[in-house]
Structure 1
C-alpha cells in the first residue's frame, strides 16, 4: 500500500460471505479485494478520472477520499466522501464507481435506516473574499436520489439525525428528522460550547414545517428505546441538565431525569443504553477527565450513583465497556478514591495542587456482574504466562487493564458477542494501572471476568474469530514477523511467521461477526529508496482453517465422548481446563455453527436488587442494606392524581433487565389512595379477591349461630374432660 492503512470495510450481499474488502490509506487511496484479501486492486486513477468528468470549474480540484461509509440496509452500497467538492458512490462494493459533484465538501453523512436512496449530510458554507452579506454556517443537506442531487434544508445546524433507528419502525413517519439548530441565527456560526439560542426540533416533511421539542436543547442521543437531550441552563458557566423520552412513539414525552444530588452538570456521555441507561456525568468543569457514572431504572428516568470517579477523556470518551454476549457484566476504570477526592475538592476551591497528568497515575480497574449494583477489583492471576507464581496477595493488589483513555498506546479490554465469556486486555497487577511498557502484559478471562490469566509477556494487539475458537496475538510495541495463535482459549499457544520483514502492526481484524477463521493483519514498514526512508502500508491475510483443516464435530451432543464441545455455564462453577470445548480439540467451528443455549431464570437474591433513587448502601458496603441519604426525607403521601393505589419504595429496585423469579423480594409497597372507592378496581384479580373476601364475610355472618353452638359444645367437652382427670385434647 502507498501509505499507512486507516480504514477497512467489509461489504457484500446479505446472507453471503463477506469476500469484498475495501481499504483506505492515509493518502486517501482506495484498494479493493474481491477474494477476502488474497489480491488487491489500486483504485486511485479510477477515482481521479471519474472525478474529473464531473468538475464544473477547471480550477477546482478532485481531491481524494477521506471516509468510507456503508449503508445499514444495503451492505453493497458504499459512499466515499472526498476532501473537496467531489464524492463517489458504488452500488456493488466498489466494483462500479460513480462520481458526484456537490459543489461543497460533505461531512457527517447519514443513510436513512429504511430508504436507501435518502441521505442526510452536513456542509459548511463558504464565502468568497470580500463578499458582502455572506456568513459561514453549518448547513443540513438532503438527497432523495442516492446522492445525485442535494438541497439545503436548514442552516445554523448543530446536530441532526433521522428520527428512528430500527428499520422495523412502523410508528414514526419515515420523513422524520431530529435537529438542533438556531432558528434565528445571524452572522458567522460558532459551535464552541453550549448555546442558549440553539433548540431541539423535529420535522416530518423535510424541514418545511417543524415542531420545537426542547427549548435550549443543544445535543441529543437517539437510542432504540430512548432519546436523551442536554438542555442548556447557564451558557456562561456551561451548565446543562438532561431530559429523556421514549424514542419509539409518534409524540415525545420529555421529562427531566431524577438524580440523587443537585450538582452542576457540564456534559454527558451515554455509555450504555441496554435495558435503561448508564450515563457518565461530568460535574466538575467543562473538560474534566473524571466523571460520575449513574444507572437508571428501565424507564431511563430515575438514576442512582453506580460508580464514582470514573475515568473519562476531555472529549467525553469513558473507560467503561459492556462485556458482549453476557448480560450485566461491565468493566470500568476509576481513579483511586483518595486522589480523586483531592482533585475534586481542589477544583471546587479553584486551587488545584494535583495535576490531571498526576491523577492519571492512580487508575484502577473494576468489574460488575450485576449491572452496576456492586463493583469489585479484578481477581489477579495466580501464576504468570511462564508458570511462575505471582506475588499479589494483599487486599490492595489486583489486576488493572487499559481502555480508551490510554489513546491506543496499549490494547483496550475487548470482547465479542459470538465468543461468549472471552475477554482480552493489556495491563498489569499491582495497586494502580501502569504505563511502563516493561510492566504491561496481556491477559484473558475465559469465564466472563470471574478469573484472569496472563497469556503473554508484554503488550499485544489481539482478535477473536471462529466463534471464539481461534485467538490471535501480535506485539504492538515493536515491529515483528510473527504472531501467536491458540485453538483452546489460551491454554496453549503456537507461533506463526506471517512476513519476511518486520511490520509495525496497527491492528488485527476479522470479519465483523467474528465467526470466520480468516484474519487481516495490517501495519507499516519502512523502505529505503535512493537513500530516503519511505513508510509503506502492509496488509496480510491468514486463513487458519488451512492450518488446522479439521472442522469440530458433535455440537449437538456436547460433553459426549465423540464431541469436541462441552457444556459451559457463566456461574464460576466450571472446569478451569476446559470451557467452551475440549482442551486438546484443535479444530475450527466453521461459520455455520449455531451455538445451542438455554436460559433458566434463577431465584432472586440480594445481588438482583440495587438501591433506588435517593438511597445508598450503608457505610458504602456493597452487601449492606439500602438506606436513605442523610438529608433525604421519604414521602409517604399519595400523589395529587392518585387513583385507587400508589406505590412507596422500600429503598430498592430490581436491576434493569433482570428477570429473576421468586426468592428475595423488595418490590414497592402498594397503599390505598385517600377516598378509595371499593367498586373501582385496577384489574380482574382485584375484583375476584374482594368478591372472595365478601363471600367469606357473608358465610361467617349467616352461620354465626352454628359457630356459637359448636363453641359452647366444645367448652362443655373440655370441662367434662378435666372432671375425669384427662389431658386437654
Structure 2
C-alpha cells in the first residue's frame, strides 16, 4: 500500500555565502555548491586549501562510477576525485572551455567546447553556426575537432557492439560539407551518417537528423536511424504536401515515436502531433494545434504513466481567429490513452475547501504546460500526478493546485494558488512551496 504524505514548506536553508546552486550526494558525503562558486562538504567548508581557493562553476558526477566527481573551476584548473573526496587530482585545461559532458559509460573521459575563432576573409569554411572547437579530455590528454556544431557521447547503449568511446558529431568537414558522423577512436577515423545536414537529436533507440526539404518544398525534412542500423530513413507523414519548419521529438517509449511538427512558417507556436508505427518511419496524425513555446521550443505534452499523456491545444474556433490576430490564450487540456482518443480531463468534484465545484457541459480541468509555466508544469511519478490550473471552458489566470492518484483520470483540488512541487522517488513524499514564498 502506498502512503501519500503531503509536506508544505515555506523556506529554509543552511546559511551559505550565497544562495544554493547545486547539491551532489556521493556515498555518505554531501557536496554543496553556492551561487558564488564556494564548495562545501558535509555542510562545512572542509575542503583542501587548493580547492577551497578556487571558484567552482559546476560539479559533474559520473554515471559509470558515482564515486568519481569532476569539480570544474571557472578558470583553467579543475579537480577530479575517484573516491567521493578522500583524495583529489588536479588537471589543467583551457579557461574558455564550457559545456562539459561526461561519458556515461566511462568515468575518465569528458568532452567540452570552446568558441573557434576562424578568419572569415581567408577561411571559406568559416560559418557562424560552426564556430565551436570540440575537445575531448581522456586521462587529461586533449583531442580536438574544429568547426563543430554539436557532439555527444553515443546514447545507443543497449547494443554491446557499440564501443563506450563512440561519439556522434555535427560539423564541417575539411571539404566544406555539413555532415553528421560518428567515430569510435576520437575522430582519428569517422563513419559518415548523413551529408548536407543541419544537426541531430538522439535518444536511446533513435537518431534524428535534420536535412533540407526536397527542391519543390520549403522548410526541412527529418530522417531517422533506428537502433542497429546506420541508414537514415525519411519520415513518412499522412499528408505529403505539407511543409515542415520545426520538429520536436516528444516521446520514444514502447517502440513508438510521438513527434510535434510545425507546418506554418509564420505560426511556429502551433504544432501537430504525429505518432509512428514500430518502424519509427511511418506516422499517423494524433492531435492538431498543440501549444509550443517560442522562447524555449518546449511543447505542452507530458508523459504521465505508460500509455497516458496530457497535452494543451488551441481549440479549433480560436485557431481560426489566431490566423488573423496572431495571438490567443484560449487552450484546451486533453488526455490521451494509447490505443484510444484524446479527450477532455474531467474536473474535480470539490474544491480545496471541500465545497462542490459546479462544472458541467464543456467545463473541464485545464492545467498549465511547460510552454507557459515551466516551474508549475505537470509533475508525475508512478500514478501520482500534480498540476496547476483551473476548471472552466478554457485555461484562465486564476490558478489552483491539483493532484491525481490514478494516472490523471481522477483529480482533486488540494491547494489555493500556484506552487512549486516535487515528488520524492520511492517514498510517496510530496513537497510544496508556495510561489509567494519563493525568494523570501
Band the TM-score falls in, shorter-chain normalisation:
0.7 to 0.9
Where structure 2 has 5 or more consecutive residues not aligned to the other structure, the ranges are 1-15
Ranked by relative contact order (alpha carbons within 8 Å, sequence separation 6 or more), the top structure is: 2
Greater strand share, 1 or 2? 2
1:254 to 216, 232, 241: 232
2-structure distance, mates of 1:225, 1:183: 26
1:86-101 mapped onto 2 (5 Å cutoff): 86-94=77-85, 96-101=87-92
Distance change in 2, residues 1:79/1:337 (3 Å):
farther
Report if aligned partners of 2:74, 2:95 keep a CA contact under 8 Å in 1. Answer: no
1:72 to 58, 63, 68: 63
1:277 to 257, 268, 271: 257
2:51 is the counterpart of 1:47: yes
Tell me which residue corresponds to 2:421. Answer: 462
2-structure distance, mates of 1:412, 1:204: 39
2:409 is the counterpart of 1:450: yes
Q: TM-score, normalised by structure 1?
A: 0.53
Cα deviation digits, residues 595-644 of structure 1 (max 9, x gap):
xxxxxxxxxxxxxxxxxxxxxxxxxxxxxxxxxxxxxxxxxxxxxxxxxx
Cα deviation digits, residues 624-679 of structure 1 (max 9, x gap):
xxxxxxxxxxxxxxxxxxxxxxxxxxxxxxxxxxxxxxxxxxxxxxxxxxxxxxxx
1:149 to 127, 135, 141: 141
1:114 to 105, 120, 123: 105
CA displacement at 1:46 relative to structure 2: 4.7
CA displacement at 1:81 relative to structure 2: 3.5
CA displacement at 1:473 relative to structure 2: 2.2
Report if aligned partners of 1:22, 1:94 keep a CA contact under 8 Å in 2. Answer: no
Where structure 1 has 5 or more consecutive residues not aligned to the other structure, the ranges are 13-18, 34-38, 52-63, 187-196, 347-352, 480-503, 505-523, 526-729
Distance change in 2, residues 1:286/1:66 (3 Å):
farther
Tell me which residue corresponds to 2:350. Answer: 383
Q: TM-score, normalised by structure 2?
A: 0.85
2-structure distance, mates of 1:126, 1:88: 27
Report if aligned partners of 1:81, 1:87 keep a CA contact under 8 Å in 2. Answer: yes
RMSD: 2.9
Cα deviation digits, residues 347-398 of structure 1 (max 9, x gap):
xxxxxx423xx32x11221111226x41111110111011111121122x11
Tell me which residue corresponds to 2:243. Answer: 264
SS of equivalent residue, structure 1 residue 339: helix
Report if aligned partners of 1:267, 1:286 keep a CA contact under 8 Å in 2. Answer: no
Report if aligned partners of 1:231, 1:242 keep a CA contact under 8 Å in 2. Answer: yes
Report if aligned partners of 1:422, 1:468 keep a CA contact under 8 Å in 2. Answer: no
Count of matched residue pairs:
416
Cα deviation digits, residues 488-546 of structure 1 (max 9, x gap):
xxxxxxxxxxxxxxxx3xxxxxxxxxxxxxxxxxxx44xxxxxxxxxxxxxxxxxxxxx
Tell me which residue corresponds to 1:220. Answer: 200
2:432 is the counterpart of 1:432: no
Report if aligned partners of 1:423, 1:446 keep a CA contact under 8 Å in 2. Answer: yes
1-structure distance, mates of 2:95, 2:116: 8
SS of equivalent residue, structure 1 residue 47: helix
2-structure distance, mates of 1:208, 1:394: 65
CA displacement at 1:238 relative to structure 2: 7.4
Tell me which residue corresponds to 2:365. Answer: 399
2-structure distance, mates of 1:241, 1:212: 19
Tell me which residue corresponds to 2:311. Answer: 332
2-structure distance, mates of 1:88, 1:463: 32
CA displacement at 1:400 relative to structure 2: 0.9
Report if aligned partners of 1:104, 1:125 keep a CA contact under 8 Å in 2. Answer: no
2:183 is the counterpart of 1:203: yes
SS of equivalent residue, structure 1 residue 119: strand
SS of equivalent residue, structure 1 residue 340: helix
Greater helix share, 1 or 2? 1
Tell me which residue corresponds to 1:354. Answer: 325
Tell me which residue corresponds to 2:337. Answer: 369
Cα deviation digits, residues 435-489 of structure 1 (max 9, x gap):
3xxx21110011111110101111122232373533332312x22xxxxxxxxxx
SS of equivalent residue, structure 1 residue 415: strand
